[in-house]
């Protein structure tokens, strides 16, 4: 599993494009018939991409987490960003259409992932995992359910629908707060005005972005921003001190996921666009 150690905001001004990308952009999570894995030491979150095409794939454990099985000391939120697929967790099978979410509680031993239609329409399971102190029930949320918030305005190109799946008033977890945001056609901006939350890190996985389109994702302290040029099914890692906001050259969706000190979605420190640099 790739290891990425935590960084401090004062490192950012000295980084060139390649270093920014190697630390904060995750490009190769999804490869056919493989499990891609990155251990970010930002709040000890592990990001996985599981792409079963010709055969089911088991959730492996990794030497870096010194656990008999992956969820021995962890929990995970999973969102399918591909064709319909199934997850079997200790004998129970859950069907995930595109955009659906499965919470896997601490202590679930055997997890396997499969695509309903194989290589024709492969599923692509994005997994965000964090350390967990207790076991909450494994729970499925169908795409479009959970708590739905309508945000932004077509006039400011940021009209979007936000679905909260794992959160304070929804599916319970130890740390993870997770959901999906979808831009309406013609709207391109997410999370503008931008914010930080020093209590939690946040990762975005962009999906349903056309192959020849890109998202210009802003990161860094609000008064010292940098950008990452992000393609389809690539993830960005925002440490607690970093803004995380993007504009696409086409409409897109993204999975957002957080872990850290609290689970309070609205505990954000907002910044006026005019104060950003
Ligand atoms: O802390 C919350 C996260 O940044 C996202 O949920 C924001 C988001 O999806 C959006 O504004 O579109
Ligand atoms: Zn945020």
Chain position carrying tokens 């960084």? 7
CB 267 within 8 A of CB 195: no
Judge if ipTM > 0.95: yes
- Range 233-257 average pLDDT: 98
Locate the ligand 1 atom nearest the alpha carbon of residue 160 and give its number.
12
Tell me which ligand sits closest to the C-alpha of residue 241: 2
Residue nearest to atom 6 of ligand 1 (CA): 256
pLDDT band of 185, cuts 50, 70, 90: very high
CB 193 within 8 A of CB 200: no
Cα 69 to ligand 1 centre (Å)? 31
Q: Is 222 helix (H, G, I), strand (E, B) or coil?
A: coil
Tell me which ligand sits closest to the C-alpha of residue 147: 1
Locate the ligand 1 atom nearest the alpha carbon of residue 191 and give its number.
11
pLDDT band of 25, cuts 50, 70, 90: very high
Q: What is the pLDDT of residue 115?
A: 98
Residue-wise pLDDT for 126-180, tens only, equals: 999 999 999 999 999 999 999 999 999 999 999 999 999 999 999 999 999 999 9
Q: What is the pLDDT of residue 224?
A: 98
Q: Is 4 helix (H, G, I), strand (E, B) or coil?
A: strand
Tokens of 15: 């980084």
């Amino acid at each position: 599993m790739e290891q990425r150690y935590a960084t401090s905001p004062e490192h950012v001004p000295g980084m060139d494009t390649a270093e920014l990308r190697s630390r904060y952009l995750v490009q190769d999570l999804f490869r056919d018939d493989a499990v891609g894995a990155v251990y970010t030491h930002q709040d000890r979150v592990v990001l996985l991409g599981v792409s079963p095409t010709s055969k089911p794939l088991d959730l492996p454990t990794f030497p870096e987490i010194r656990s008999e099985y992956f969820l021995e000391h962890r929990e995970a939120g999973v969102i399918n960003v591909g064709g319909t697929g199934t997850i079997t967790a200790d004998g129970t099978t859950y069907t995930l259409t595109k955009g659906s979410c499965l919470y896997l509680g601490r202590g679930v031993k055997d997890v396997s992932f499969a695509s309903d239609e194989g290589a024709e329409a492969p599923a692509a399971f994005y997994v965000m995992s964090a350390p967990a102190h207790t076991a909450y029930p494994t729970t499925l949320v169908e795409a479009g359910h959970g708590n739905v918030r309508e945000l932004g305005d077509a006039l400011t190109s940021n009209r979007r629908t936000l679905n909260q799946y794992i959160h304070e008033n929804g599916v319970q977890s130890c740390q993870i707060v997770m959901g999906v945001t979808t831009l309406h056609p013609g709207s391109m901006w997410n999370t503008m005005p931008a914010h930080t939350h020093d209590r939690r890190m946040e990762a975005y996985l962009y999906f349903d972005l056309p192959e020849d389109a890109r998202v210009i994702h802003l990161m860094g302290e609000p008064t010292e921003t940098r950008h990452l040029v992000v393609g389809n099914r690539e993830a960005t890692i925002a440490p607690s001190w970093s803004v995380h906001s993007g504009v696409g050259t086409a409409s897109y969706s993204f999975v957002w996921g957080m872990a850290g000190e609290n689970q309070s979605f609205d505990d954000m420190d907002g910044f006026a666009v005019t104060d950003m640099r």
